[in-house]
Amino acid sequence: MSGGRLRTQVGQLARRSVMRTMRQPAQIVPALVFPMFLLAVNSGGLRDTTNLPGFPTDSYLTFALAVPFVQGALFSVMNSGTDLARDIETGFLDRLALTPLRGAALLSGLLAGAVVLGLVQAATYLTVGLVAGAELVTGVPGALVIVALSVSITVAFGTIGLFAALRTGSGEAVQSLFPVFFVFLFISAMALPLDLIQTEWFREIATVNPVTYLLEAFRSLLFEGWEPDALALGFGIAAAVLALGMFAASSALKTRLVRT
Amino acid sequence: MTPADANGIEVEGLVREFKNGPRAVDGIDLVVEPGEIYGFLGPNGAGKSTTVLMLTTLLPPTAGTARVAGFDIVAEGPKVRASIGAALQEAALDPLLSGREHMRLQTALHGIGKAERAERGRKLLERVGLAEAADRRVGGYSGGMKRRLDLALALAHRPRILFLDEPTTGLDIQSRTALWEEVARLAVEEGVTVFLTTQYLEEADALAGRVGIIDHGRLVAEGTPAELKAEIGRPTVEAVPRDPGDRERLAAVLARFGLAAGASPRAAAARLEGGEAQLAEVVRALDAEGIAIETLQLHAPSLDDVFLAKTGRSLEGAGEDEEPEPGAEAEAVGSA
């Protein structure tokens, strides 16, 4: 197949994915509202935490602002997975399978909706956070990197949704993953920096939980300044999840699409 | 040149087994000639859809071979797919996209050039009567409109062979007739070969040049509708007694002339073993028993009679068991 045709396939499926996302406010609104709600509750209720010796910033709002970017990405698992599961349930995937469509084009196209959602989410979280008084010590360049990291995580998590949809073929099964992923968020350095977590087992789990390092990458840009190691780790984790997710989803697609 | 070398279909010993289930398709042999409308008739669960999924390359057979448009369905899947169009059992559409957006996606995925896509989509939507609804989201379409869009999408890349899996199930008479006309036109005017599955006798009778009757995964009869009916050759006599209390006696009299047949609640019916010539004897017997008759009708043999003769059951309501879900390869036992 020529590169031109592959580009056309990816482009057309991306267009459909974006249209579907934009035409389903029920997908976009919760991904915007719930993380902001949690941010408001946490930054208000845990404000005095900044008095702990060694807490890295005077503004808990700034510290907590990293959370919505990861939390929003979790919605991407649900949204991209549910969309694909619906295609399987309705037979739309069979329609696509009858065309010369390549699996890579299908997966890439489907993730285009996640890119749009990631952009909208990142812009919203950052704007709301800054308006509410959060810091951003890295300025406009830092804001751009935050958006890029947010989109990367959203797309990476989206591949897990695609994998779940292809394995189960069920929208309900995909949605049941959401609480599982939420546990990962809570057992991380979400509320406190790693070195201030006193409970040993919690700290140990948070230390090996990749979500912690995604949060630290955002926090480095928000209140610590340019930290190449933290950013490399954040983008590296996103890239690793993306690679693993795409591999798993591609394998599941081969099983699901048993066309000869 | 064999049928499959042109625009035909050749199937030999096609089998599909599912884990923990019966053989959904159990050794089917059939040939569809180029330009023919072939009706694949059977109740729910008979194996019709599984056969279509195999012939359209979406499900590998467990055993057997098939060539579609001259290409092997296992070894040459992409070439088969390039030659065929298919409207599968459910009208698989995206409710959030419009008819025109569906056409744009389908034509692009089939590699139709950008310049031609819009025109091809417009013409097909016009042909199936959806020009005015082209920019409305499909979620608001009626069942008939969805089926027509499904047909238009199947035709997007000008296929030589068209597979239609129960295309009119659930449609009203008007929508059904409109679809029949379009399918007939495609075969007659454009020479498209049509493989049509249906559980409607009248659909097979009205559309198909030849009919294959499938039951429990096996082809139990094949021929033109006229040939199949002639093979059975037994008309049905149906009578309604003037006094409803005489219905049992009426049925007993009719039973002397042949096996009981399906009838309306107030009536009794039997297939006349001796053909139409026995009608006079029937009337005389009823007169001799003193059973007054309100109406008496002689029905020519139908495809349902053929199905009954071949399987011992009536097609209407015969399919109680759903066909095994053919989607997941994980459920399959082996594959070719």
pLDDT of residue B277: 83
Residue A45 CA: distances (Å) to CA of A41, A48, A133, B315:
6, 8, 16, 69
Output the average pLDDT for chain B: 86
CA–CA distance, B134 with B152 (Å, rounded to integer): 12
pLDDT of residue A258: 75
- Tokens 């009299």 belong to residue: B253
Cβ atoms within 10 Å of A25's Cβ, excluding its own: 9
**CATH class belonging to B234-300:** alpha beta
pLDDT of residue B170: 77
The minimal CB distance from A98 to the residues B56, B89, B137 is found for: B56
Residues of B in contact with A94 (CB under 8 A): 58, 88, 92
Assign B336 a pLDDT band (cuts: 50, 70, 90).
very low
Q: Are A61 and A134 in contact (CB under 8 A)?
A: yes
CA–CA distance, B108 with A101 (Å, rounded to integer): 10
**A-chain residue closest to B332, CA distance:** A258
Of B312 and A177, which is predicted with more confidence? A177
CB contact under 8 A, A259 and B81: yes
**B-chain residue closest to A5, CA distance:** B111
Q: Global pTM?
A: 0.81
**Torsion (CA) A238, A241, A242, A243 in degrees, nearest 10:** 120
- Does B327 score more than 50 pLDDT? no
Assign B19 a pLDDT band (cuts: 50, 70, 90).
confident
- Tokens 């010993």 belong to residue: B13
pLDDT of residue A2: 63
Pairs of residues, one from chain A and one from chain B, whose beta carbons lie less than 8 Å apart:
89
pLDDT for B100-141, tens place per residue?
A: 999 999 999 999 988 899 999 999 999 888 999 999 999 999
Q: Are A239 and A93 in contact (CB under 8 A)?
A: no
- Does B165 score more than 70 pLDDT? yes
pLDDT of residue B229: 78
Assign B315 a pLDDT band (cuts: 50, 70, 90).
low
CB contact under 8 A, B96 and A90: no
**A-chain residue closest to B72, CA distance:** A260
Stretch among B52-66, B82-96, B230-244 having the lowest mean pLDDT: B230-244
Q: Are B228 and B41 in contact (CB under 8 A)?
A: no
Q: How far is B180 from chain A (nearest CA, A)?
A: 22
Identify the CA nearest to B46 among candidates B323, B316, B306.
B323
- Does B227 score more than 90 pLDDT? no
The minimal CB distance from A258 to the residues B60, B105, B106 is found for: B60
Q: How far is A165 from chain B (nearest CA, A)?
A: 13
* Local structure of B241: helix, strand or coil: strand
Is A47 in CB contact (< 8 Å) with chain B? no
pLDDT for B282-308, tens place per residue?
A: 999 999 999 999 999 888 777 777 777
CA angle A24, A26, A32 (to 5 degrees): 110
The minimal CB distance from A19 to the residues B85, B93, B96 is found for: B96
- Does B276 score more than 90 pLDDT? no
Q: Are A161 and A80 in contact (CB under 8 A)?
A: yes
Specify the amino acid at residue B177: T
Which of A:68-87 have CB within 8 Å of B? Answer: 87
Which of B:38-67 have CB within 8 Å of A? Answer: 56-60
The minimal CB distance from B92 to the residues A5, A16, A92 is found for: A92
The minimal CB distance from A12 to the residues B84, B105, B327 is found for: B105
CA–CA distance, B302 with B235 (Å, rounded to integer): 9
- Does B334 score more than 50 pLDDT? no
In sequence order, what DSSP letters do the residues of B38-102 get, joined into one string?
EEEE--TTSSHHHHHHHHTTSS--SEEEEEETTEETTTTHHHHHHHEEEE-SS----TTSBHHHH
Contacts of B245 (CB under 8 A, 6+ apart): none
CA–CA distance, B300 with B271 (Å, rounded to integer): 10
pLDDT of residue B278: 87
Give the distance from CA B43 to its chain's centroid: 9
Q: Domains of chain A: which residue ranges?
A: 3-47+56-256
pLDDT of residue B333: 35
Buried-state track A61-80, b at ≥16 Cβ within 10 A, e below 16:
bbbbbbbbbbbbbbbbbbbb
The minimal CB distance from B59 to the residues A98, A99, A258 is found for: A258
Q: How far is B136 from chain A (nearest CA, A)?
A: 13
Cite the beta strand spans of A59-194 per DSSP E: none
Average pLDDT for runs of 10 along chain A of length 260: 78 90 86 92 91 93 96 87 91 90 87 87 95 95 97 94 93 87 91 93 96 97 95 97 95 84
**B-chain residue closest to A86, CA distance:** B94
CB contact under 8 A, A12 and B56: no
Specify the amino acid at residue B137: R
pLDDT of residue B319: 55
Contacts of B301 (CB under 8 A, 6+ apart): B229, B230, B232, B233, B234, B235, B236
Q: Are A125 and A72 in contact (CB under 8 A)?
A: yes
- Does B247 score more than 60 pLDDT? yes
Assign B329 a pLDDT band (cuts: 50, 70, 90).
very low
Contacts of B53 (CB under 8 A, 6+ apart): B59, B88, B326
- Does B328 score more than 60 pLDDT? no
Buried-state track A99-122, b at ≥16 Cβ within 10 A, e below 16:
bebeeebbbbbbbbbbbbbbebbb
Sheet holding B161-165, edge to edge: B84-87, B161-165, B193-198, B37-41, B210-215, B218-223
- If 0-12 CB within 10 Å is exposed, 13-18 middle and 19+ buried, where does residue A123 land? middle
The minimal CB distance from A98 to the residues B73, B86, B105 is found for: B86
Q: Domains of chain B: which residue ranges?
A: 3-93+141-229, 234-300
- Interface probe, candidates A82, A99, A255, chain B, greatest B C-beta count within 10 A: A99
Of A219 and B271, which is predicted with more confidence? A219
Residues of A in contact with B16 (CB under 8 A): none
Of B7 and A124, which is predicted with more confidence? A124
pLDDT of residue B46: 87
Q: Are B15 and B63 in contact (CB under 8 A)?
A: yes
**A-chain residue closest to B156, CA distance:** A99
Residue B307 CA: distances (Å) to CA of A121, A130, B201, B209, B312:
61, 74, 10, 17, 7
**CATH class belonging to B3-93+141-229:** alpha beta
Q: Tell me what the mean pLDDT of segment B137-158 comes to.
A: 92
pLDDT of residue B3: 57
- Does B323 score more than 90 pLDDT? no
